[in-house]
Amino acid sequence: MTQTMRWFGPNDPVPLQGIRQAGATEVVTALHEVANGAIWQRDAIAARKAVVQDSGLDWTVVESLPVSEGVKIRSNDWDQLIDHYRQSLTNLAACGIDVVTYNFMPLLDWTRTDLAWTLPDGARALRFEAVAVAAYDIFILRRPDAAASYDDATCAAAEARFAAMDDAARATLERTIIAGLPGSEEGFTSAAFLRAIETYADVDAAQLRENHVAFLEAVCPLADTLGIRLVVHPDDPPFPIFGLPRVVSTEADIAALFARVPNPSNGLCLCTGSLGVRADNDLPGMVDRLGSRIGFLHLRSVQREPDGAFHEAAHLDGDAGMAAVVAAVHRLSVREARSIPMRPDHGHQMLDDLNRTTNPGYSLLGRMRGLAELRGLERGIAHAAEGSA
Looking at the annotation, which residues are catalytic? 233, 271, 298, 345-346, 362
In angstroms, rounded to a whole number, what is the distance separating the alpha carbons of residues 377 and 2?
14
In angstroms, rounded to a whole number, what is the distance separating the alpha carbons of residues 85 and 37?
7
Which of these, 305, 358, 389, 388, lies nearest to 113 by C-alpha position? 305
In angstroms, rounded to a whole number, what is the distance separating the alpha carbons of residues 243 and 145?
9
Torsion (CA) 278, 284, 287, 290 in degrees, nearest 10: -60
Concatenated DSSP letters for 317-360? STTS-HHHHHHHHHHHHHHHT-PPEEEE-SPPB-GGGGGS---T
In angstroms, rounded to a whole number, what is the distance separating the alpha carbons of residues 211 and 303?
33
In angstroms, rounded to a whole number, what is the distance separating the alpha carbons of residues 191 and 176?
15
In angstroms, rounded to a whole number, what is the distance separating the alpha carbons of residues 387 and 339?
20
Three-state secondary-structure class, residue 63? strand
- CA distances 102 to 15, 23, 331, Å, are 24, 26, 26
Q: What pairs with residue 342 in β-bridges? A: 3, 297
